[in-house]
Amino acid sequence: MDPIYAILERQFNHIDTDAWLLGMPSTVQAFANVQQHFVTTFDAKAADNWQQHDVHLGWQVPPTPRHQTILFYPKAKQEALMLLDMAIAQLSRVGGSLWIVGENKGGIKSVPAIMKKRQLAGNKRDSARHCAIFEIDIPQDTSLSIPAKEQYETTIALSNEVSLASFPGVFSSGRLDVGTALLLQHLPKPTGPILDFGCGCGVIGAHLLQRYPKADMDGLDVNWLAIEATALTAKRSGVAFRTLYCANGLIDSVPRYQHIVSNPPFHEGVGTQYDTAEAFIMRSHKHLVTGGNITLVANQFLEYEPLLQKAFGNCQELAREKGFKILFARRTR
């Protein structure tokens, strides 16, 4: 059982049936037999998991204020502060109780310092299984307004051609990571439709579109904020993606491609796992035309070669540098 679910289970009798569950991660299983909760998530997998509740993928607050909000503390501190702004603004309309729950290794221990800086009164309500719940009283203050996501946008110019837009919690937010920089040196010349899987801020697709403006480029990410960032990156860089998908992996409605490029995720929450990348690699064969190819970057310690060999029957290492490797495989049948 997920530890965050386990610690919340101890408190189920004290959770309002119409509480707002904010920032729901995909790692927490849905509460059983409760359908009144208003769930806000940026994670398409979490949205799939919580379908029996009133779940919303994107920048959504309850239409009527709730007296209790449970904020799931993310590993990115700036994302946590963004969610905190949303929670306080909504609760302040009527006054209420804010619970912040998370794992010790995910940063929940920093909540007291955040409370002190924000002059918030509260205490630790519970701790178990290396997790904690902090409870904060939010007084009524009708002068606060719900923040807009645009307040948290950052933009940096990577070159004269590409301006990278991002939001807190999006991979490589505000910078170009080393692995993606290496991948940009080994991107294929488009000969057909391309998918940037796990597109993050849209940096890979934007670079390809700058080089090949007529390319049919799609982007896919599980993070709704990443899709919003990719759209803004395209706008800031003067390029256009064909379609952007916010989805939990290569779903059936995603078409077939000549090329798939990716810096695939290998984290879920605060842990390292292969499931997402393995599912992506195995399904990518189905979403490539015969003769199509996949190019991806990975940390050198990640053993993706056997997965590519299993899916495609071939795998080639194109480069190895600064702890990363570029892998290539072609669909031959």
C-alpha dihedral sign at 185, 190, 191, 192:
positive
Least confident of 146-150, 169-173, 214-218, 244-248: 169-173
Separation of alpha carbons 121 and 6, rounded Å: 25
Q: Say if residue 270's pLDDT is above 70.
A: no
pTM as predicted: 0.93
Chain segment 116-142, per-residue pLDDT in tens: 999 999 999 999 999 999 999 999 998
Q: Say if residue 6's pLDDT is above 60.
A: yes
Separation of alpha carbons 253 and 250, rounded Å: 8
Q: Say if residue 240's pLDDT is above 60.
A: yes
Going from N- to C-terminal start, the domains of the chain cover: 3-138, 153-330
CATH class of 153-330: alpha beta
For every residue of 224-236, DSSP letters joined together read: HHHHHHHHHHHHH
CATH class of 3-138: alpha beta
Say what the pLDDT of residue 275 is: 79
Q: What value does the mean pLDDT take over residues 10-34?
A: 90
Pull the structure tokens for residue 10.
């101890």
Say what the pLDDT of residue 52 is: 83
C-alpha dihedral sign at 81, 30, 39, 195:
positive
Say what the pLDDT of residue 177 is: 81
State the burial class of residue 177 (Cβ atoms within 10 Å of its Cβ: 0-12, 13-18, 19+): middle
Q: Say if residue 263's pLDDT is above 70.
A: yes
